[in-house]
């Protein structure tokens, strides 16, 4: 699955749209090789030299022309990122999984095709879309402080609006506080995937109903946070809580960790909802999904993946073909992650979106296995839509 998803065209965008006028000039590769071919002799020195080192762990170079070109494009993504970030003291390199298996083992590289970022004593895996934009953004996020401070009402409102992210906020006495330090250590372990915020301000804490040394956990799209029980906390306690609550009831697919999210399936399946937030129908559908997520937030078996097709233009036709759905309209379905077989909720009338109740019934049927990708004879929708004369096959065929 992974190889199909790898999208490499962004670096080509850079090459093609070199603008003529001043003030808006995309960088183009200047031809200077900055990406290091990592081997036994140079890896220690390279890791020491830079504040941060990004290593692409890759399969050996193939003799196949097409694969060679793909390899070249991936290298160009790194080259461009290295060039753009040249002043930041960040090194880029590539590790051949066969030739330098020993180095890979020493560095703990496991998944071919992944990028591993070495920062201080930590190794952070980048399992997102391999484009220069996404990679640069990821790396820059890692340069920020792991905990962001909220010190006034304006920042507090901004914090409250970030409803797509898994985030935590704690109230502490000051920077020297032992409890704040434990929070900071924890934040580093989840950076940049889970956002950590803190306040030392009494007023902000009061608005967020935080007591001294208390930490609240915000699940995406929920109105209310959950207070982590048992304060003050040790690092292990916060880590455990985050790990246990990390998979939200409704989560948005993001370019920066899309493969990781996709691999975090629910017993081999995902419930996937496509909805364009900018589109009126998509927006409405999303509101229904959020209501359902809020009603079912205690259900550990339920996690719906929301994909906004607007954010993945290069994947949209692939998804339409693979899942046999029309993504100009909202859709919800079950996808088997082993073979990409899928079943989609029959929304016959383009104008009428399902009600929250209908959608909840359908989700229940998915969770109970009544709706599944395996029995294509399932007549789930037929009993409700006897008059359906459409000849369209609403379930996917076996390929």
Ligand X SMILES: *[C@@H]1O[C@H](CO)[C@@H](O)[C@H](O)[C@H]1NC(C)=O
| Distance separating alpha carbons of residues 92 and 38, to the nearest angstrom | 9
218 — alpha (psi -120 to 50), left (phi > 0) or beta?
Answer: beta
Helix, coil or strand: residue 217: strand
Rounded Cα distance, 80 and 27, in Å: 8
User: Which residues, numbered 297-336, are part of the site for ligand X (CB under 6 A)?
Assistant: 336
Nearer to ligand X, 82 or 345 (CB): 345
What x/- string results for residues 335 through 354 when contact with ligand X is judged by CB under 6 A?
-x-xx---------------
User: CB of 76 within 8 A of CB of 69?
Assistant: no
Chain residues 252-271 in contact with ligand X, contact rule CB under 6 A: 267-269
Taking CB positions, which residue lies at the least distance from ligand X? Answer: 336
CB 68 within 8 A of CB 122: no
Q: What x-and-dash track marks residues 227-246 binding ligand X by CB under 6 A?
A: --------------------
Least distance from ligand X to the Cβ atom of residue 113, Å: 22
Q: What is the CA 152 to chain-centroid distance, rounded?
A: 29
Work out how close the CB of 330 gets to ligand X at its nearest, in angstroms, rounded to a whole number. Answer: 23
Looking at the Cβ atoms of 177 and 373, the one nearer to ligand X is 373
Measured from the CB atom, is 28 or 372 closer to ligand X? 372
x/- map, 93-132, ligand X, by CB under 6 A: ----------------------------------------
- Asked if residue 104 lies in contact with residue 118, where contact means CB atoms within 8 angstroms, the answer is no
* Minimum distance, C-beta of residue 243 to ligand X, in the bound complex (Å): 24
Q: Supply the DSSP symbol for 92.
A: E
Size of site (CB under 6 A) for ligand X: 9
In sequence order, the 6+-apart residues with CB closer than 8 A to the CB of 329 are 281, 347, 350
Strands 147-149 and 195-199: parallel
387 binds ligand X per the rule CB under 6 A: no
List residues near ligand X by CB under 6 A: 267-269, 336, 338-339, 372-374
């Amino acid at each position: 699955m992974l190889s199909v998803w790898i999208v490499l065209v962004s670096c080509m965008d850079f090459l093609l749209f070199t603008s003529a006028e001043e003030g808006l000039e995309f960088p183009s590769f200047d031809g200077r090789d900055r990406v290091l071919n990592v081997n036994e002799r140079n890896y220690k020195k390279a890791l020491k030299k830079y504040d941060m080192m990004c290593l692409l762990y890759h399969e050996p170079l193939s003799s196949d022309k097409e694969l060679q070109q793909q390899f070249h494009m991936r290298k160009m993504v790194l080259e461009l990122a290295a060039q753009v970030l040249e002043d930041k003291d960040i090194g880029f390199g590539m590790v051949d999984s066969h030739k330098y298996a020993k180095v890979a083992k020493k560095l703990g590289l496991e998944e071919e095709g992944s990028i591993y970022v070495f920062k201080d004593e930590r190794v952070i895996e980048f399992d997102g879309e391999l484009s220069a934009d996404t990679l640069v953004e990821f790396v820059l996020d890692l340069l920020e402080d792991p905990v962001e401070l909220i010190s006034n009402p304006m920042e507090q409102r901004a914090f409250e609006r970030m409803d797509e992210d898994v985030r935590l906020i704690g109230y502490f006495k000051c920077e020297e506080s032992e409890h704040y330090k434990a929070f900071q250590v924890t934040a580093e372990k989840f950076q940049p995937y889970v956002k950590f915020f803190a306040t030392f301000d009494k007023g902000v804490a009061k608005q967020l109903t935080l007591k001294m040394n208390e930490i609240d956990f915000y699940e995406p799209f929920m109105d209310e946070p959950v207070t982590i029980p048992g304060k003050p906390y040790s690092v292990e306690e916060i880590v455990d809580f985050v790990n246990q609550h990390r998979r939200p009831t409704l989560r948005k697919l993001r370019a920066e960790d899309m493969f990781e999210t996709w691999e975090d399936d629910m017993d081999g399946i995902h419930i996937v909802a496509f909805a364009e937030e900018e589109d009126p129908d998509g927006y409405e559908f999303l509101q229904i999904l959020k209501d359902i997520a809020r009603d079912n937030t205690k259900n550990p078996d339920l996690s719906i993946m929301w994909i906004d097709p607007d954010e993945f233009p290069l994947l949209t036709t692939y998804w339409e073909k693979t899942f046999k759905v029309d993504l100009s309209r909202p859709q919800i379905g079950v996808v088997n992650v082993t073979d990409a077989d899928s079943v989609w909720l029959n929304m016959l009338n383009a104008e009428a979106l399902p009600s929250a109740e209908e959608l909840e019934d359908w989700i229940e049927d998915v969770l109970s296995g009544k709706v599944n990708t395996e029995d294509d004879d399932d007549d789930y929708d037929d009993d409700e839509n006897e008059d359906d004369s459409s000849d369209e096959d609403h379930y996917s065929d076996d390929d």
